[in-house]
Chains A and B, each alone.
Chain A
């Protein structure tokens, strides 16, 4: 199979949410001696980007997003090991994510993690019902540049503010960017609690984080 055909199949495996196929194609690409980094940018990434477009258009919904993210993860896991020394370790940045205290909703947060990871960020996912202390501690330990918080209920969303207050108290608010998300979360809310942004979905989260970190955002 020639390279372009392989890349095209990689893209399709993400669109179809076929994790098994994504893994198989990733392994095949390595066997054929194709550069892992090229497979990511030429094969898999266009796939997940297209998933994002289809979500935007209202063609793809949560099930397709999750399946696409799983397929992406399967392909990336194989390729990451083979990334050359200079490609490895140049992650775009580190981000700590979690759903706030008392809240167990995780699908949106996990998607944000998956898509950020697919775009080269190193993601530390703390799961759900995460205390402000845990967010701050992990951010410090990992030296993350970004903290991302999810909340889905009116009764849990103000915990996002608690995390920001703790960052201020610890004197590190200026060292991290804070993004927030969840169904009731808006830009106005983000502003009123002192967060840096409230990206509407996982795909917007990528451009938001890049912008906040001063990286180039491909339009």
Chain B
């Protein structure tokens, strides 16, 4: 039983087992998972080597100013930053010994999607995950919410930086107004959820409350109003803030500038619908496309009772008996498939080929098609072309990797343990060549599930 638990821990909660990992965790698979929720755990040193968003922004501004074809140089610089971030991120995930923690980072990063499909965000999307999501992945939800909402990537992605209160100083002068994009997604996607009990007046109220949450402006050399340097870092801009009292979800916000925004986010984080929404998504992600209500309730309670402690909440998912049941039917997304293959084959080199493979399947890192992020449902990934793509890819990977590995059946046992079916094992053993056997393993039904 414990080896089956170990296989489930590594597959359903992790990113697939590396060689020898199942044996290492067989003693206490749940303990192995819970240990990864340790808040003080230092991030992979490779991540430390990446530049913070302030540095990225400064270099982007420099590119645009310095070169003659500023726009082109800027795009190149953004692409470089994107590629660098993505490459490291995939490498880290492939070699991590805390894959559950990495799954949680990826989950929250997807929850607070910023997408490089929007050109302005290209260079910053990775920084958003590193700076706003990762540090809070087992911390407090509210802290992650604030960090994400204020991050330059999010301010740009959802047009918040240019949202102006119509009656604010800047509004009265320029005639420009509110942009509701961030406010709407905060309510619909990040906190309460689409059926969480808010209406259009709440969207408007939140948009008004958040005016001023923008890019920092520093006085330019002339110190005249209007001649300012936008640093690209978050800064509260009082001149853009809508004055007056706003009513959001039945509570009144008196017009206290930045404080109102923080208070509003706090209220949203504590709203009962948020617990429900977050729990549903977590259970859907780890347990089943149709989240079992008992598991959702357990996780929602943990979130509520711990005041949004994401470590406690994650632990509740681990403790849910439904998570360990047979045949949850969760399917690996391309992200999971590529990384679990890399881990299976002991791949620890440059992450770029991994990212390219994900892109080949339509899941390029940080390029979700909309603020909703990547789907967590099987039907969106397992479709006729998707299956053919996966099989072809499995064959290509097998051809490239077969020399590095030993016996494929042993590899299969090492990766899947008791999850490996007799039928697949027979197929592996009867394959004429190791390449075919490895391709079969990577394309097997067990390997496409998590």
A, B in one complex: no
**Which positions in A face B, CB cutoff 8 Å?**
none
